[in-house]
Amino acid sequence: LKKEKNAIILAHNYQTPEIYHGIADFAADSLALAVEAAKTKADIIVMCGVHFMAETAKLMSPQKKVLLPDMNAGCSLSSSITGEDVRLLKKKYPNVPVVSYVNTSADVKAETDVCCTSANAVKVVESLGVKKVIFLPDDYLAKYVASKTKVEIIPWKGTCIVHEQFTAKEIKEIKKQNPGIVVIAHPECPPDVINASDFAGSTSGMSDYVKKNQPKKVMMVTECSMSDNVQVENPKVEFIKPCNLCPYMKKITLPKILDCLENESNEIIIPTNLLEKAKLSVERMTAIGR
């Protein structure tokens, strides 16, 4: 069906193994998915991920049909802020540029100067050459960026419902029970969890870390499918797996993917004037790169 329709399946690293290893043409973190969506020669993109990822793909490739197997695959960060909230913040802090995490709606991206992901947040903030930025919507990612730069960060109170659940106590306990274990965390985790970990990076950053360093034992402080997917590619590494499921990512299933490709249903539509405004902030991000 993919061949017949010249369709490509893009999958986020949090998709289940049967999607990630079984049917995806390209699986990666949110930055690489946005870049791939711009590059592909396919006519149809099926995004196995959440709504903001499908919207971002549409912004990068407006002429293509972008399908999302379940329109209810949201994100707690994305739903924590609206375009109107950003307009009010801009009034409160005039002339302060807005950097938004890619985990936002097209409405928010349209009010944004430049987007970022966890893979390039510090680089994007510093690329602006200013003393102060508004950084939306993840409060923990904002704190992580603030710890790595001298630029003053004005945050928003959004959190990821998956990563906010991890605690430093849990990490310390796991380290005690597993001497020598390497703990790697996503920057959406609370600061004390990141401090208790050995490395922090985007989902692809975490996966590359394991590939390169081949630790004997590792814990990935993130969504559960990460360890399942990365384990297949690193058979010598032992994965210790306390993890949290993202209920939004898990809405995507093989039958829903087949259905949406067969019927070309669940198409992402963004009004042209909104699309033209919103795509600029994503294009600026991909130009900065990783």
Considering only residues 53-92, where is the footprint of ligand SF4 by CB under 6 A?
75-77
Instruction: Please name the helix (run of DSSP H) or strand (run of DSSP E) that holds residue 184, with its range, or none.
Output: strand 182-185
Give which of ligand SF4, ligand 13P, none residue 248 binds (C-beta under 5 to 8 Å, depending on kind).
Answer: ligand SF4
> CB neighbours of 222 closer than 8 A, spacing ≥ 6?
14, 162, 163, 185, 186, 189, 203, 206, 243, 244
Quick one: 134 exposed, middle or buried, by C-beta within 10 A (0-12, 13-18, 19+)?
A: buried
**Structural contact between residues 36 and 64, judged by C-beta atoms closer than 8 angstroms:** no
Considering only residues 88-117, where is the footprint of ligand SF4 by CB under 6 A?
103
Residues 45 and 66: their CA atoms lie apart, in Å, by 5
Contact range with ligand SF4 by CB under 6 A, out of 17-25, 56-64, 154-162, 168-176: 154-162
Give which of ligand SF4, ligand 13P, none residue 117 binds (C-beta under 5 to 8 Å, depending on kind).
Answer: ligand 13P
Q: Of these, 15, 16, 30, 40, which contacts ligand 13P (CB under 6 A)?
A: 30
Interaction pattern, residues 1-40, with ligand SF4; x per rule: CB under 6 A: ----------------------------------------
Q: Of these, 181, 249, 257, 278, which contacts ligand SF4 (CB under 6 A)?
A: 249
- Any bridge partners for residue 65, and if so which? 44
Residues 145 and 160: their CA atoms lie apart, in Å, by 16
Contact range with ligand SF4 by CB under 6 A, out of 61-69, 139-147, 156-164, 206-214: 156-164
Q: Of these, 76, 117, 197, 207, which contacts ligand 13P (CB under 6 A)?
A: 117
> CB neighbours of 224 closer than 8 A, spacing ≥ 6?
241, 243, 244, 245
Contact range with ligand SF4 by CB under 6 A, out of 232-240, 244-252, 256-264, 270-278: 244-252
CB-CB neighbours of 142 under 10 Å? 25
Query: By CB under 6 A, is residue 252 in contact with ligand SF4?
Result: no
- Torsion angles phi and psi, residue 100, rounded to 5: -115, 140
Residues 147 and 141: their CA atoms lie apart, in Å, by 10
Pick the closer one to ligand SF4 by CB: 162 or 184: 162
Closest CB 85 distance from ligand 13P, rounded Å: 20
Pick the closer one to ligand 13P by CB: 99 or 119: 119
Secondary structure of residue 22 in the 3-state scheme: coil
HSE (side-chain half, CA atoms, 13 Å) at 45: 31
Size of the site for ligand 13P (CB under 6 A): 13
Closest CB 125 distance from ligand SF4, rounded Å: 19
Query: By CB under 6 A, is residue 124 in contact with ligand SF4?
Result: no
Handedness of CA 219, 223, 224, 227 (dihedral sign): negative
What are the residues binding ligand 13P (CB under 6 A)? 13, 29-31, 103, 117-119, 160, 186, 188, 202-203
What are the residues binding ligand SF4 (CB under 6 A)? 50, 75-77, 103, 160-162, 188, 223, 246, 248-249
